[in-house]
Amino acid sequence: MDVVYGMQVVDENDKYVSIAERGAAVFSEVAAPGRFLAELFPSLAYVPAWLPGAQFKRDAAKWARDLVALREVPWGAAIDAMVW
């Protein structure tokens, strides 16, 4: 965090560390090859999320919030800490 955003992380209970850990957990879920049936059948990307068997779409919506927080929260804190 210090190299990229200029923020000191004091302990492992820091909110930025927990955001980064959630992002790493999402990446490890998504990066597993063959994890989702939509990889074999790309047309499944167009099914509605409420459809049984479309759990991957509901998971993706939840994971998207974590990944956006991974990008936006530290960036916003760094911008707020800048002296204009």
**pLDDT tens digit sequence for 29-64:** 888 888 888 888 999 889 999 999 889 999 999 999
Alpha-carbon distance of 8 to 11, in angstroms, equals 9
**DSSP annotation of 51:** S
Where is average pLDDT lowest: 8-17, 39-48, 65-74?
8-17
- Residue of 11, 23, 39, 35 whose CA lies nearest to 73: 23
pTM score: 0.72
